[in-house]
Amino acid sequence: MKISLITVVYNGEHFLQACFNSVKAQTYADVEYIVIDGGSTDSTLQIIQENQSAIDYFISEKDQGLYDALNKGIGKATGEVIGILNADDLFAAADVLAAVAKTFMDRPEIDGLYGDLNYVHPETHHIIRTWKSKQHTHADLKKGWMPAHPTLYLKRSLFEKNGGYSLDLGTTADYELILRFFYIHQIVALYLPVLMVNMRAGGISNNSLRSRIAALFDDYKALRRNHVPYPLFVLMRKKLSKLSQF
């Protein structure tokens, strides 16, 4: 079973090689690796060129941001399953994709899966937060639950049927897609109790007070768009749930 793995990058010279190394270390072989660059001006393109042997598809061009680039990658994917590894993130172990593939092959009825994630210090890799998930119910989505997006692997057919990431919701596009897939379309997604990703802290939705406020408003819009009842209550529960990760 082919897995299409997408990495989106823009001026990622500081962490991109480590990301590539963690992809190349994966023991599972049937992987289509797609790299979408947003027109980097640092040494990112040189790093990509040095790793061309591990990359199946690459393009560098201006885009409308992270989620526009992800949509481009999804459009080029040919694997049965699509996953994402951010340019500044790392697989937590060499057998993560092998575990993903085995789960999909053992459980052909599932539409997707997700696992656990650590937020780590950008330089020291010291663990800052631990996002340990669970097997969700439909009711959990009305309580602010969501899976860790970097651990989410979905069948490509879902994007063909239900669309990609919305470009009008800023950094909340991943939450909106999860609500659309999990809450509206009620896909069958399995919790894989495996630490899948070490995610460097300091993402674009958390790098300033303004970006945090914007993300809060966009979360509310995503909840309203997907007809989740009592969106303000859900939003409060979503934010409070993060306290247990520290």
207 has a pLDDT exceeding 60 = no
Q: How many structural domains does the chain have?
A: 1
127-131 mean pLDDT:
95
Range of weakest confidence among 128-137, 183-192, 233-242: 233-242
16 has a pLDDT exceeding 90 = yes
* Cα angle: 56, vertex 20, 52; to 5 degrees: 40
Q: How far apart, in whole angstroms, are the C-alpha atoms of residue 80 and residue 176?
A: 22
What is the DSSP secondary-structure string of 65-100?
Answer: SHHHHHHHHHHH--SSEEEE--TTEEESSTTHHHHH
Beta bridge partners of 4: 32, 82
Running DSSP on this structure, what letter comes out for residue 180? I
pTM of the model: 0.95
148 has a pLDDT exceeding 90 = yes
Report residue 15 CA to chain centroid gap.
17
- Please write the tens of the pLDDT for every residue from 74-112: 999 999 999 999 999 999 999 999 999 999 999 999 999
Closest Cα to residue 102, out of 81, 73, 118?
81
Specify the CATH number for the domain of residue 50.
3.90.550.10
- What's the one-letter identity of residue 133? S
Residue numbers of the domain that contains 20: 3-245
- Please write the tens of the pLDDT for every residue from 47-73: 999 999 999 999 999 999 999 999 999
- Please write the tens of the pLDDT for every residue from 181-204: 999 999 999 999 999 999 999 755
Provide the H-helix boundaries in the chain: 16-24, 44-50, 66-76, 96-106, 156-162, 173-178, 209-225, 231-241
Whole-number average pLDDT of the chain: 95
